[in-house]
Each structure stands twice: as C-alpha cells, then as structure tokens.
Amino acid sequence: MSTADKLFINMCKDILANGVWDTDYDVRPKWEDGTPAHTIKKFGIVNRYDLQESFPILTLRKTNFNAAVDELLWIWQKKSNNVNDLNSSIWNSWADEGGSIGKAYGYQLSIKHKYKEGEFDQVDRVIYDLKNNPASRRIMTNIYNFQDLHEMHLYPCAYSMTFNVSGNKLNAILNQRSQDILAANNWNVVQYSILVHMMAQISGLTAGELVHVIADAHIYDRHVPIIEELIEQKEHEAPTLIIDKNVVDFYKFAVDSFKLSNYEFNPFKVKVPIAV
C-alpha cells in the first residue's frame, strides 16, 4: 500500500465516522441543479508525507498527474490568473469572458514586494532565501490577500506554503482553509509534493516532508457513496518519481520534466459532480 492510499483511506473513514454535517446551515456551494451542496467535515486534519519514502499519489484511482503538474506550473511558474494559459478546463467555471479568475492564485504570487535585498515576488523570494539564507525561518508564501479578496472569483483554498531547511532536507507545510476531499485532496498533495521537489533540486537540497494542514476537510453529500466505494478498492505500491536532473532553474521546469515509473492504479472511473 502506498502512504498516500493509507492516509487517504484513514482520513475518509474518520470524516465519515466522526464528522459533522452542515445541513443545519445555509451554505454557499450549489450543485448544477441549484440544490444546496452540503458536507460532512472534520476540522484540523493533518497529514504528513515523507517524500523520500514514496511519491504520494493515489493508486486507489488514477490522479491525472500531468494535469496536476500543469496547474501547479500555471500558478507558481507562469504566475497566471488566466485560464487561457492553462491546458485544462478545471478553472473555467470561475473565469470571466476574457479567461481571468481575478486577482487570485498566480496573480498574488506575481506581485513584487520590497526587501532590504531588493524587490522580489513571493516565488523569487523563496528561491533567493533557499539559496542564500537556508537557515531562515521566514521562507514562506501567502496568497490570501484580504485587500484583493473582492476581486477574486474564488478565494484561495490552498493559500500558504512554509518552507524549512533541516540539514540537507527541504520540508514544507501546506496550509489549506478548505478542501473537497474527493475532487481535490490527492490533486493538491501531488502538486505541492512536486513543488517541494522543484525547490529542493534548484537549491541543492533533498526533498523531505510535506505536511498538509486542512482546516475544513469535507466530503460533499453526493460524494459520500463514491468515497465509500473508492476506499474499498485494491491498493498498489507507490510509483517512483523521476525528475529531469538537468533542470537547475525553477523557470525551466516543464510538465515533461516529471515522470512516474510503474504507476499502477485501479480503473475506478466515475463522474464526480462539482459544487460551485
């Protein structure tokens, strides 16, 4: 069993057995037919992934690895907020007629800030510190900019990364205010695991742990039977992540810089309704 499968199964069982339903509240998300999208949730889920032990991608079902990496690069490398720069349609529901999702995600990472060493955006500041001041306890990003929330088409869910160098290992904490466990959990774990590997490689470090902190970990009402079936699927061994070691510039990574060897997964296919 892969670590990702084990943690996912245990998390889902915990939410279903011990979670709290929000059916007593008026909720913002709606299903396509206009029905309120209620959830069962747990507060304060923390999962730890040792990136040296295995690459944390689900084998219970296929996670679209290339699309997940593409979205990560769209946000962190292109620093874009326009879906026309993305090679999938996952953000289309939040885009305007020009393709913009407002001042969200990549837009926030592109804003330059003043430091005593000069001007950096958040990504470039992380890279600078990892290379020049790895002992710093201030290596972090935050895209939950209250000043710009009214101009974001969706408030950031995964909003903060804190990087920490211990010895020769680069560890990180991903903070997430809210997560749709079925649609997004492993997707985000895969993405930010790749980000840790990227930052480690360009800094001459080894990827260590990714700690994923979720404030509101929820399963939507219409996802419950899917989750119940999914966590009973056969588990496979985790695949091996292969990275192009020739890339030493963060902005030179591409989707095909990353490959999975021996990625076995179940042919578990079901249309997952998305609440908006």
Binned at pLDDT 50, 70 and 90, residue 2 comes out as confident
Structural domains in the chain, sorted by start: 43-178+190-216+243-261 (3.30.572.10)
From the list 157, 213, 231, 255, the catalytic residue is 157
Q: How far is CA 10 from CA 3, 13, 161, 176, 221, in A?
A: 11, 5, 24, 19, 19
**Across 72-99, average pLDDT:** 96
Residue that wins the pLDDT comparison between 90 and 160: 160
Annotated binding site for dUMP: 137-138, 177-180, 188, 218-220
Whether 206 and 166 have beta carbons less than 8 Å apart is answered as no
Give 269's pLDDT tier (boundaries 50, 70, 90): confident
> Across all residues in the chain, what is the average pLDDT?
97
As annotated, the binding site includes: 64, 137-138, 177-180, 188, 218-220, 275
* Per-residue pLDDT, 270: 87
Q: Please report the pLDDT score of residue 273 as a whole number.
A: 86
Is it the case that residue 1 has pLDDT exceeding 80?
Answer: no
Paired residues of 102 in beta bridges: 152
154 secondary structure, DSSP code: S
Cβ 197 vs Cβ 210: under 8 Å: no
Beta strands in the chain (DSSP E): 20-21, 39-50, 113-115, 118-120, 140-142, 158-166, 169-180, 206-220, 240-243, 258-261
Cα 229 from chain centroid?
23
pLDDT mean over 255-260: 98
The confidence score (pLDDT) of residue 104 equals: 98
157 is catalytic: yes
Amino acid in the structure at residue 158: A
Share of the chain above pLDDT 90, in %: 96
Q: Is this model's pTM higher than 0.85 or not?
A: yes
Residue with tokens 């959830």: 39
Give the per-residue pLDDT at 271.
86
Cβ neighbourhood burial of 86 (10 Å; 0-12, 13-18, 19+):
buried
Asked if residue 265 has pLDDT above 90, the reply is: yes
Mean pLDDT, range 182-206, rounded to an integer? 98
Would you state the pLDDT for residue 231? Answer: 97
Predicted local distance difference test score (pLDDT) of residue 272: 87
